[in-house]
Each structure stands twice: as structure tokens, then as C-alpha cells.
Structure 1
Amino acid sequence: MCLIVFAWQVLPGVPVIAAANRDEFYDRPATPARPWPEHPHIIAGRDLLHGGSWMGITTTGTNGPKFAALTNIRGPAERRENAPSRGDLVADFLKGTLPAADYLQQVVARGDVYNGFNLVLGDRDQLYWYSNRGGDDPRNGLPLEPGRIYGISNGLLDAPWPKVLRTKAQFASLLCQGAPEDAYFEMLADTTRAPDLRLPETGVPIELERQLSPVCIEMEGYGTRTSTVVKLYREGEPELHERFVQPLG
């Protein structure tokens, strides 16, 4: 998952609304979002290489349905090939029974063994963001402030990357309008590249920064594979809707 914008306790009756794109190599095998056979209360996509996930919900839980999502931190110089799969962080939370705060304590204790990541998780009453590259951000690992819209790409929470700023603004507008679901998917399909002067510096060549700058990425062999919209309601069943993105060429 390489872009996620989410509203936390912004709309009455809908504590969590999230819209996200998953960017990945096209040849990395994965299953679409659906109930997991051995854990039918989980609805999530699944990475078939390591068994984890990038985003999902549960239909049940001690405190009602749960939500979790993950993005990687882009840091090629820091990447370790032998690090454990970050997708397990989402899968283990959804499979387990621990409240978000208790689960997060376990993640923090072993966070340095993973390559860089952002993890958003919680339920209808509490939502958290944690990054093992979060440094001194006072929000890291603590309950997020309600009544706000947040955004994450492959930097830290609310890092002012062009795609994050643009999508947060559009997302807020759609929420205010009471827009239909299709409008969120249209937002996630934006392939506009950012101007060079606004590109982040993440340690990759400038041409690659350009290619990675759109909300919806189109490259040879790599790009946005799925778009997802999630809603957790105060009452009633949660919703997860996923659409596949046609690869370039």
C-alpha cells in the first residue's frame, strides 16, 4: 500500500473512511480482497509470497470491527534483504484478539527488525499510527486526534508529498459533498505527475521520482495494482470495496 488517505471520526456514524492505492511489482503474486478461508472474519488482500497483507478489516472483534493498513517507507539505502515481511504486521493484528494499543506495544518492541514502514490500525473507538522511522513525531504510537483527515504515502504521516496533499484535499471535498463511491475511485485513478520542484528526495534518481509521483502509478513492471475504499460504521457491518487497475501496456 503506497498511498492512503483516511478520515478519523470526521463524519457522524462513520468513524473510519479510508481510500488507498496499493503499488507493487506486477509479477508479485497476491489474492484480491476477500474473506480468508482459515479466518473468515478477515476481509483483506493477501501477499502470496509471504502470506501477509497491506490493508484489511475484520467483521468482528472484541471492540467491534478492526482496520489495519500499511505503507513502506522509501529508503533504498536502508533496505535489508533479510528483514521480515512487513505485511505480517497487518495480518497478525487482524488475526489476533489484542486491542490496538496492546498490539502496538508488541510492534514497537520489535519495530527495528523491519525495513521502514507506516502502520495504521484500530477500531471504531481508537486509531493509531506508528512508524519505525517516526523519530520525534509526537503522534507516533499514540491515539490519533479525531475530527481530522490524514494522509500517508512512502514517507511519514502527513509528509507534504504532492500526491498526499492533492489527495487529502480532494478527499475532504468528496466527504463534504457526500460523494458516491465512484468519485473516490476516480480520485485514486489520477495519473498526473508532480512538478520537479515539488518532488520529495527519497534517495532514488529524479526520473524514478517523477514516475512514482502520481496518485496512480503507471510503469513497466510496477505500478498501482488495486484501489480500495474502506468504511467502518458506528453501527452495522464494515465495508471494503476494491478495484483492480489495468497495468500499463
Structure 2
Amino acid sequence: MCTLALAWRAFGDAPVALAANRDEALDRPSEPPTVRTPVSDGGARYVAPRDAEAGGTWVGLSEPGVAVAVTNRWLDADREGDRSRGLLVRDCLEADSAEAAVRTVEREVETRSYDGFNLVLADAVAAFCLSYDGGLAVTRLDPGVHVVGNVGGVVNGVERFAVPDRRREFGAERVDSARRIAAELVPEPGESSDAWLDRASDVLADHEYGACLHGDGFGTRSFTRIRTTAEPGTAPEFAYADGPPCETPAQPVSLSPSFGRD
């Protein structure tokens, strides 16, 4: 995934509202989102698509209400990661809170190596952006809108970009895209979470903002929209477009009646 916009505790009715594009090789196989059983003892159920090649995922929502999304982080040199970043996302989705997911990542990077990533974790209580380039940096997020991509983003209202020299030209385009998306997605007075997600969906599909990409063998493969709820007993929302959002409408993913209602 290469561009994500998170509104955390920006709306009273939705602790987490997330809209995200995934950019990937067009021939990399994947499976659509569904409710998945945890692989670890005591882990949480979660809804997520699946990378059919490496077995992990790039975005998802757990039954306890933890939203997780990852982007690649471009570095000056590729790291020889011994484990897929998508499996790390799966590990986080099985945690019972965003705080616990952070601890999971901290333990993982002590014993295994990964290629660079930016990882967003959010639930009703806390939200974080984790950046990894061989060392892990953890930023606790303030309430508001945050935009993250391959070269960093706008987090807590501060620009946090790092463009590697080898991708200077395209990296500058990614910086400009994130800046413009962050400026456009500032919540409007009286705006609801649904209305904001509608705007975020339109922005990530609009080529003028540079988040929906079409290339030779590579481009935006899917779009995901997640909304949790502050109302007890109300199910969260998860919608998915299996294709570039400029031409593929997001469809609701069917969740079990009990999912996320406890």
C-alpha cells in the first residue's frame, strides 16, 4: 500500500476512519477481504485481504477494533528482510489493542529483519505511526488527520518526509501528493465521519492528487475504506475495491453479525 489517510478521533461517531490505496505489481496474486481466523493462540479474528504470494496482508481491522495499514518505506538501499512485512501486519491484527500491536512490532524487529516500512496502528484508545529503516521509530498520533506514504507523510500536523537520493524525482512527486491530500482532507465544520470518508475516497481516486497510479506492470491495485464506531453494539464498516478506485467502486465486505459488537 502506498497512500493512506487516517482520521483518528476526529469525529465523535467514529474513533477510526481510514482510506487507503495499495500500489503493487499487477500480476501479484491476492485474495479479497474476509473474516479470518487467527494463527496464534489467543489472537483476535480480523477482516483483511490476503497476499496470496507471501501469506500476509497490507490492511485490516480486528474484532477488538484495531485498524492496521502498511506502506513500503523507500530507502537509499534495499534491505534484505527475512520476513514479509505483510506477515507483520497480520501479527498486529491479532493483537488486542494498538498498544499491544506496538509491543509486537518492537519484539519482532529485535529478532528479525524487514524491508523498510511505515505502519499505522489505531483503535479507540490510541494510534501510532511506526517507521522502520533498520531501526524503529514510534510516533504516538494526536487526534486529527494523518497522511502516510512511501516517503513519510504529514503526521500530527508536521511534515515528516525522507526521500532517498536514488528516487529523488519520483519521491518529490510523492511528497507533493501527500501534502496536497493532507491539506484537502482537513475535517470541515460539522462534517461526519461518513462524509469525510466519502471525500477521502474521492481524493484517493482523483488523479489530480497523485495517489491513484497507472503504470506498466505496476499501479494502484485496490482501495480500502474502514470505519469503526463509538456506539456500543454497532458493527464497524469495511469496504473494498478490487481495482484502482478511479474505475472500481468499493463494495461492503460482509461481516458476521457478532463481529466487533462486543
- Superposition TM-score, scaled by structure 2 size: 0.73
CA distance in 1, matches of 2:31, 2:107: 30
**Corresponding residue for 2:203?**
187
1:131-184 deviation digits (Å, cap 9, x = unpaired): 113979xxx4243112x2111010224245111111122222568644375543
**Corresponding residue for 1:240?**
238
**Corresponding residue for 1:77?**
77
**Does structure 2 retain, via aligned residues, the 8 Å contact 1:174–1:183?**
no
Is 1:91 aligned with 2:90? yes
**Corresponding residue for 2:150?**
154
The residue matched to 2:27 in structure 1 has which SS?
coil
Identify which of 151, 160, 185 aligns with 1:171. Answer: 185
**Does structure 2 retain, via aligned residues, the 8 Å contact 1:174–1:184?**
no
**Corresponding residue for 1:14?**
14
Q: Which stretch shifts more, 170-179 or 109-118?
A: 170-179
**Does structure 2 retain, via aligned residues, the 8 Å contact 1:191–1:218?**
no
Q: Percent identity?
A: 31
Structure 2, unaligned runs of 5 or more: 155-159, 162-174, 247-262
CA deviation after TM superposition for structure 1 residue 246, in Å: 4.9
Identify which of 142, 145, 162 aligns with 1:145. Answer: 142
Let me know the Cα RMSD of the aligned residues: 2.8
CA distance in 1, matches of 2:84, 2:189: 34
Is 1:227 aligned with 2:223? yes
The residue matched to 1:229 in structure 2 has which SS?
strand
What amino acid does structure 2 have at the position aligned with 1:90?
V
CA deviation after TM superposition for structure 1 residue 77, in Å: 1.9
CA distance in 2, matches of 1:176, 1:11: 9
1:55-85 deviation digits (Å, cap 9, x = unpaired): 0002x22xxx2111111102262332x5310
- Superposition TM-score, scaled by structure 1 size: 0.77
**Does structure 2 retain, via aligned residues, the 8 Å contact 1:69–1:90?**
yes
Aligned residues: 218
The residue matched to 1:74 in structure 2 has which SS?
coil
